[in-house]
Amino acid sequence: MKVAIMGAGIGGLALAQGLLKAGVDVKVFERDPSPRHRNQGYRIHISPVGEEALAAVLPDAVRRRVIATATRPGDLVAGFDAQLNVQFEQEFPVAGPDAVTSVDRYAFRRALMTGLDDVLEFGKQFESYVETPDGVEISFADGTSAVADVLVGADGVGSRVRGHLLPEHEVVDIGVRCIYGKVPLTKAVRSIAPPAFLRGFCFASDGAGTGVAFGPVVFREPPTEYGDYLMAVLTGTNEVLGASDDELFTMSRADLWDIVTRSVASWHPAIRSLIDAGQVDAAFPITLRTCIEVPSWSSERVTLLGDAVHPMTPAAGAGANTALWDAARLTKALTSGEDLASYQQDVITNGQAVVTESLHNAERLFRVSIPV
Ligand SMILES: Cc1cc2nc3c(=O)[nH]c(=O)nc-3n(C[C@H](O)[C@H](O)[C@H](O)COP(=O)(O)OP(=O)(O)OC[C@H]3O[C@@H](n4cnc5c(N)ncnc54)[C@H](O)[C@@H]3O)c2cc1C
């Protein structure tokens, strides 16, 4: 059996590792020209669900790379008001030396690419497919094509594969924008950062729709390109951020970071100092999108995983973990001769539960009403 995976994101790479380990003929096609293209580095929380999926699909050498390049586990999740008064706090035991509890997306993807040199092609943008009696013919934007027995759309929230398979399926904009940024963890920054911000994920909010999330990325083994940082993410509606989408998605990184600086101008001095120390050229905006209902589909040869089938807000910290769960489940289906319909049913059931949780969390966290 020949499997073609569109998208070398978190789910696509995990699936490729699982299939390769089982001896399946697999190829991954990624539209980006290289793994470093675009802003790939931000913190992703890995839950026990994600960890279990990684353990199931990764060969030992790849798993060791993932562990080595993961971040050091924290021991706290906390919420604050804008003046740093604690609103909630949850401590937990520090995980062991082999635990993977959070990763930097760039370092994680690089680790997941270990051993995939002959399998992974960059600069291959999926364009369309045609199902034939013998398989699937796939066309790329560069005019080339490929054939496979099974095509997997692992091409993220804007999935073009889903666009072909389920043209009616709707992905909803929840009206929240984020400006992502990094504060390099220099000695000076470590000394001004509230201790909780260095212990785990923290969210500060002014109670009027502006929030800033902080998450430490302290590597066991940093990538060559950069070192430890504190992820800092501003969230709010266009109105709260004072910028339309046309402005937000065309302005310079310096102007984006100015919005973050302005938004916390009356906040606690420690938060202001951290934002002042931000790495301006690392700022980027994103739109939070979700599906409301995970769709079903009926093809025997074309399937989906991860954000391509169940995009969700980051409010449950579960998008990547669910993509990993899907990858492990699909590896099992494709290597045991199971039919794809039972994989699809499980993805719908599991994905819907997580999407619903993420919608509830988003309404509380971002103070928005989502049209369910
Ligand atoms: C800033 C941020 C923070 C997040 N934090 C967390 C977190 O803490 N925990 C968590 O679980 N999740 C988190 N998420 C969500 C998580 O990153 C996604 O849910 C996860 O990456 C989905 O994996 P995926 O493999 O489905 O898609 P992706 O990782 O998005 O990969 C899709 C890949 O497909 C490629 N592609 C797209 N179109 C094409 C095409 N036409 N042809 C070929 N290739 C294509 C893309 O370039 C990309 O490489 C976060 C997301 C963001 C944006």
| pLDDT one-digit tens code per residue, 30-75 | 999 988 876 667 899 999 999 999 999 999 999 999 999 999 999 9
Domains of the chain in start order, with CATH, are: 2-35+113-171+291-366 (3.50.50.60), 173-288 (3.30.9.30)
CA 87–ligand 1 middle distance (angstroms): 31
How many other β-carbons are positioned within 10 Å of the β-carbon of residue 208? 10
Q: Can you tell me which atom of ligand 1 is nearest the CA of 320? A: 11
Please say whether the beta carbons of 149 and 11 come within 8 A: no
Per-residue pLDDT of the chain (372 residues; tens, 9 = 90+): 999 999 999 999 999 999 999 999 999 999 999 888 766 678 999 999 999 999 999 999 999 999 999 999 999 999 999 999 999 999 999 899 999 999 999 999 999 999 999 999 999 999 999 999 999 999 999 999 999 999 999 999 999 999 999 999 999 999 999 999 999 999 999 999 999 999 999 999 999 899 999 999 999 999 888 999 999 999 999 999 999 999 999 999 999 999 999 999 999 999 999 999 999 999 999 999 999 999 999 888 999 999 999 999 999 999 999 999 999 999 999 999 898 999 999 999 999 999 999 999 999 888 888 766
Tell me the best of 155, 160, 180 to mutate to test the pocket of ligand 1, counting ligand atoms within 8 Å of each CB and taking the most: 155
- Residue 180 Cβ < 6 Å to ligand 1: yes
Q: What are the C-alpha distances in Å from 37 to residues 122, 123, 142, 194, 229?
A: 10, 11, 18, 33, 19
- CA-nearest residue for atom 20, ligand 1, is 320
How many angstroms separate the CA atoms of 217 and 273, rounded? 18
How many angstroms separate the CA atoms of 6 and 264, rounded? 40
pLDDT tens per residue, range 240-292: 999 999 999 999 999 999 999 999 999 999 999 999 999 999 999 999 999 99
Please say whether the beta carbons of 109 and 35 come within 8 A: yes
CA 36–ligand 1 middle distance (angstroms): 14
- Residue 318 Cβ < 6 Å to ligand 1: yes
- Residue 30 Cβ < 6 Å to ligand 1: yes
Torsion of CA 103, 109, 110, 111, to 10 degrees: 60
- CA-nearest residue for atom 48, ligand 1, is 9
DSSP E strand boundaries for 188-275: 200-205, 211-217, 229-236
CA 352–ligand 1 middle distance (angstroms): 18
Q: What are the C-alpha distances in Å from 108 to residues 53, 238, 349, 352, 371?
A: 14, 31, 27, 26, 34
How many angstroms separate the CA atoms of 289 and 314, rounded? 9
Question: Token pair for residue 137?
Answer: 């013919």
How many other β-carbons are positioned within 10 Å of the β-carbon of residue 17? 27
- CA-nearest residue for atom 1, ligand 1, is 42
- Residue 314 Cβ < 6 Å to ligand 1: yes
Query: What 3-state DSSP class applies to 243?
Result: coil
Q: Can you tell me which atom of ligand 1 is nearest the CA of 155? A: 34
Q: What are the C-alpha distances in Å from 249 to residues 178, 243, 256, 324?
A: 11, 9, 9, 29
